[in-house]
Amino acid sequence: MKTDRSKVRRIPKRGLYDPESIYSILDKEFICQVGFVHQDHPVVIPTIYGRKDDMLYFHGANVSRMLKNMESGVLLSINVTRTNALVLARSAFHHSLNYESVTLFGTAVLVEDEKEKIESLKIISDQVLEDRWDEVRAPNQKELNVTKVLKFKISEGSAKIRNEGVGDDKEDYSLDIWAGLLPIERSYGFAENDARLKPGIEISRSVENMHGKKF
């Protein structure tokens, strides 16, 4: 996956290029930022994705500007980043973040086979909430007709991880200023019923399984 374009140049020791490291970070999230050039202007759009093996899948309305550009074969830059802690130093200059990120390069192609299209939508759904797809009504033909799915092969890119403590200048360690890490923790709260939920309907197992779960 390592190329001149994807090579980590700023603090290269933090760069990782093996598929396992990249997949691990991608699997912790479900929203990415997709960058491309549209009519000579750079554009970055957030979107939900799903991963299976070395493929990322994206979906949206047929009229989506992003999907139309992706389908045309434009070069894409895709980024996923999660922040894990604030790194609070004694000096303003040395404040930082502990984070995990992935940046990928390549092009996407339209998923045209309907069976593959439905499976791709399931992959995206399960990336967001595992097993939810099996609990709900599947898309009907009308919904499939107005939805596009594209796939992106993960073949060029890098991960970058900072997982370190404070790095102050030597002379600043004697300052009477607190320094350390402030972890960032994310977890799911309690589900809230839809206002028009029929009486007696219990929370779905996929949702119930997420109560209090950190991500």
What integer pLDDT is reported at residue 195 of this predicted model? 97
Residues 107-160: tens digit of each pLDDT: 999 999 999 999 999 999 999 999 999 999 999 999 999 999 999 999 999 999
pLDDT of amino acid 178: 98
Cα gap 108→153, rounded to integer Å: 7
Question: How far is Cα 152 from Cα 103, in angstroms, rounded to an integer?
Answer: 13
Amino acid at 105: F
pLDDT score recorded for residue 137: 97
Quote the pTM value: 0.93
Through-space distance between the first and last CA atoms of the chain, rounded to whole angstroms: 27
> ∠ CA 93-175-13 to the nearest 5 degrees?
40
What average pLDDT does range 87-114 have in this prediction? 98
Per-residue pLDDT, 79: 98
Fold held by 12-208: Pnp Oxidase; Chain A (2.30.110)
Instruction: Report whether pLDDT(91) > 80.
Output: yes
Does pLDDT of 1 surpass 80?
A: no
Which pLDDT score is estimated for 2?
A: 86
